[in-house]
Structure 1
């Protein structure tokens, strides 16, 4: 034996190492001798005894197969013995040593004599229990996603109908509907970050109030997480109250304040909204959808009730929620939304800006309809639109043009827009993200840039671009 051959594994050992690395156990069924050989690796997977045993015409391979899966296994094997050269089957296997059920995939090769008779079957088995459980989990998650998407679409449709019934102007409808849609989106973003286990009340308050009239809003209470249904309801309630305060209430004046406080009670929690320092308040002459949403929808969705008081000194609202609205603390808790993220989603009325005249603005957005809407809105504001670019390479190819500002989606058909953002940063070209992706607490990729979350009002994007171009 040469020195180079010392320690070199034999072909048999090499095969054993490969089988072990792949998590496979092997067997051999000698049909002529009616004997079954089970390897140690197969024994570890199936709980069958290792060594050579009576094959019993193949029944020894079936002794622990789940009864519901046995017919398909037999059919596959018999078909291969009759005319094929291999068979494969997936079945549940009840381990005879401990009774545990494992999901097994087996593959066998039929060896035939010169006259065509099957004389031996050699095969392997693999424990795919983890894979099957993951597939079941994936199927369950897809079904749950389908359910949630349909619920969201139904809720959006209902919001659109209810908002339309209460408005006579298209501009007012678009403003009110966009604000309510944004409130739903903020709640869903927080829920997604927590894997749909719950959203914190303070995070919901921060998402809606964090950038409205800085120094005029505050919120405080114990850490409290709500179920997805309750979180969406409270997000809409915060939006309706904030929008009303900005238009008619305390936040319509520099001297006004909004204070939100909540506390745990034995049956759930209570939340108080108090406006002070604003104009004198009187009950509205007509009831709008906002009042209906607060008193009926929010109360019911929180398993409690809502009470609105139109005091001369300011609007007061008390929301009472039942225990069913409270969720356990999620394992993953996102950071509270920062003002940098929320500063561009204020419900204050936004008029189309006229100060983008001549500005060269790059649009990078993979959704064609959104890109067209952005192009139209920015063009109407006076901007010279570059693009839109729908793909990463297309966007990179436009960077050699003169650019004053850019609007970037964070994800372009599954690819990060980071290379574009890095190139713009190197050129000191300001940009913002208009996206549904990114971290709740900051801009995608850690870039120092404002963020507008989808769904958005294109006028907000135009205003934000104008702010980027305004000297500090």
Structure 2
């Protein structure tokens, strides 16, 4: 009676877990396939000749058969638990599924092996997830290396064409920010591309309000084309702010694009109302980037005209630059700059005597901040790399703070709340793309990573002047 009850409980447990089972009677050389295993594998339920334990081998994927046989032979020899994962080709519908088989050998009255009892599970879904995860990791590795190579090239080319360290830092930082904006838009679409109007909003939306406009049909670009267009718009906008239409209050930039009949698109950048324009005396990397790199990356061409009334640029992209718009893309532009409220400093900021707390989990960034703020005259508190470190420093006198929004996966909000309660101002330096203002709803300046340390120093100095 007790054995029957135990067997019934085992049946209920196996059913609840979605598992199948089979027995191999080694004395009779017979497999006994349960109905649940039949459902999982497509094999017929009931007894069948075991053929020395190899009867089911004909349904195992050829690439997994040798390893399975090796494990089975070792188990028959040594006894004890047995476990294997392999692909099986179902005999009923031809589908390939992943099977996990775990069993144990039991002896007969004479002590010799008499049989094996196995539990069977369909682990196809888990295997697919593992394969997808590995594919994503490989793709991430590829993209990271591409990004690092691009950053290296930008640094080298920018350095070759600038005559001072300050100019290099300003130009290089701006280009990194353009790449960062494009990257966040691509991330929002799971790296399937970005829309032209989103790229325009990210680059021009917070620049000279009321002096920029953009319009055109909905176009979704490949990641490569999106990065190229983002850099191109950044170069044009930087030039417009320094020398062109956006250097005066009366100027305007109009950005328009249209589809081309043969596929692809054409984009026109037109500046009006600014100073009289003349061709530059020398070609910088920005011009090379626009006219050579951007055109190639867009599978088209690009050109800039220095008309006296204002700069005019034309970018033409081939059909290879266009990607299908995925359903998961956010409807709004999702400007990734999180209403960045601090612009690059036009000169060195003075933080003489100010006690500034640095909370940053990236050691190199923290070191750069520490050096930069110290050179500006600040007494640096920290840096704190972890939340607990930052909280432990709050009992010290602090005049202002620079906070990374995320510390190794943990929110910096407890530190921000404590500082706010004490009336200590702080600035967020973040790589996250929260929309609608500062993280946590605080009324605090936000600086987007990557940033220039002089920008952080200027933000802290402005905070101290306003308190």
Q: Same fold (TM over 0.5)?
A: yes
Q: Which residue of 2 aligns with 1:391?
A: 386
Aligned to 1:290: 286
CA-CA distance at 1:227 after TM superposition: 0.8
Deviations 1:369-421 (A, max 9, x none): 10111122222233332211101111122223333332221221222223223
2:338 maps to 341
Distance 2:359 2:62 in 1: 57
Are 2:297 and 1:301 aligned? yes
* Equivalent residues of 1:299, 1:321 under 8 A apart: yes
What is the CA-CA distance between 1:442 and the residue it aligns to?
A: 4.6
Q: Give the Cα–Cα distance (whole angstroms) in 2 for the partners of residues 168 and 251 of structure 1.
A: 24
8 A contact 2:304–2:313 mirrored in 1:
yes
Alpha-carbon offset, residue 154 of structure 1? 1.1
| Contiguous gaps of at least 5 residues in structure 1 | 1-8
Relative to the length of structure 2, the TM-score reads 0.93
For residues 224 and 349 of structure 1, the distance between their equivalents in structure 2, rounded to whole angstroms, comes to 35
Residue 250 of structure 1: how far off its partner (Å): 1.4
Question: In structure 1, what is the equivalent of residue 138 of structure 2?
Answer: 143
Helix, strand or coil at the partner of 2:209: coil
The match for 2:45 among 50, 53, 56 is: 50
2:193 maps to which residue?
Answer: 198
Q: Contact (CA 8 Å) 2:339, 2:436: kept in 1 or not?
A: no
Partners in 1 of 2:461 and 2:7 — Cα distance?
Answer: 73
Distance (whole Å) between structure 1 residues aligned to residue 38 and residue 23 of structure 2: 13
- Rounded Cα–Cα distance in structure 1 between residues aligned with 2:63 and 2:388: 53
How far apart are residue 125 of structure 1 and its match? 1.1
2:408 to 386, 403, 413: 413
Structural mapping, 1:113-132, within 5 Å: 113=108, 115-132=110-127
Q: How does 1:8-157 map to 2 (within 5 A)?
A: 10-113=5-108, 115-157=110-152
Secondary structure (helix, strand or coil) at the match of 1:336 reads coil
Q: Distance in 1 between matches of 2:381 and 2:42?
A: 66
The 3 A distance-change label for structure 1 pair 404 and 163 is same
Partner of 2:311: 315
Alpha-carbon distance change, 345 to 92 in structure 1, aligned in 2, over 3 angstroms: farther
Q: 2:165 maps to which residue?
A: 170
Q: What does residue 327 of structure 2 align with?
A: 331
**2-structure distance, mates of 1:13, 1:445:** 55
Give the TM-score normalised by the residue count of structure 1. Answer: 0.92
Checking the alignment, whether the CA contact within 8 Å between 1:191 and 1:228 is kept in structure 2 is: yes
> What's the CA shift for 1:95?
0.9
Whether the 8 Å CA contact 2:354–2:377 is kept in 1: the answer is: yes
1:50–1:448 Cα change, 3 Å: farther
Deviates more, 1:227-236 or 1:258-267: 258-267
**Does structure 2 conserve the Cα–Cα contact (< 8 Å) formed by 1:341 and 1:450?**
no
1:62 partner SS: helix
C-alpha displacement of 1:91 = 0.9
| Contact 1:337–1:441 (8 Å) recurs in 2 | no
Contact 1:94 / 1:102 at 8 angstroms: preserved in 2? Answer: yes
SS at match of 2:253: strand
Matched residues in 1 for 2:300 and 2:150: separation?
20
| 1:161-199 alpha-carbon deviations (Å, 9 max, x no partner) | 111111121211121111111111111111112100111
Q: Distance in 2 between matches of 1:337 and 1:402?
A: 38
Structure 1 residues 221 and 421 mapped into 2: Cα distance closer, same or farther (>3 Å)?
farther
CA distance in 1 between partners of 2:6 and 2:250 (Å) = 86
Local SS of the residue matching 2:305: strand
Query: 1:141 Cα deviation (Å)?
Result: 1.0
Q: Which moved more, 1:410-419 or 1:66-75?
A: 410-419
| CA distance, structure 2, for counterparts of residue 59 and residue 320 of structure 1 | 64
Q: Secondary structure at the match of 2:286?
A: helix
**Counterpart secondary structure, 1:262:** strand
Distance 1:10 1:84 in 2: 28
* Distance in 2 (alpha carbons) for counterparts of 1:289 and 1:431: 36
Q: Distance in 1 between matches of 2:73 and 2:223?
A: 52
Q: Deviation at 1:136?
A: 1.0
Q: Show structure 2 runs of 5+ residues with no match.
A: none
Task: Please report how far the alpha carbon of residue 126 of structure 1 lies from its aligned counterpart in structure 2 after TM superposition.
Answer: 1.0
Q: Deviations over 1:244-269 (max 9, x none)?
A: 11111112222222221222222221
CA distance in 1, matches of 2:242, 2:43: 75
**Aligned partner of residue 57 in structure 1, secondary structure:** coil
Kindly state the Cα deviation for residue 280 of structure 1 after the two structures are TM-superposed.
0.9
Q: Which structure 2 residues correspond to residues 193-272 of structure 1 after superposition, within 5 A?
A: 193-266=188-261, 267-272=263-268
- CA–CA distance in structure 2, aligned partners of residues 25 and 350 of structure 1: 72
Residue correspondences, number: 463
Q: Secondary structure at the match of 2:455?
A: helix
**Does the CA contact (< 8 Å) of 1:336 and 1:441 recur in 2?**
no
**Structure 1 residue 277 displacement after superposition:** 1.6
Native 8 Å contact 1:189 1:440 kept in 2: no
Cα distance change of structure 1 residues 208 and 156 upon mapping to structure 2, 3 Å threshold: same
- Residues of 2 paired with 1:209 and 1:107: CA distance? 61
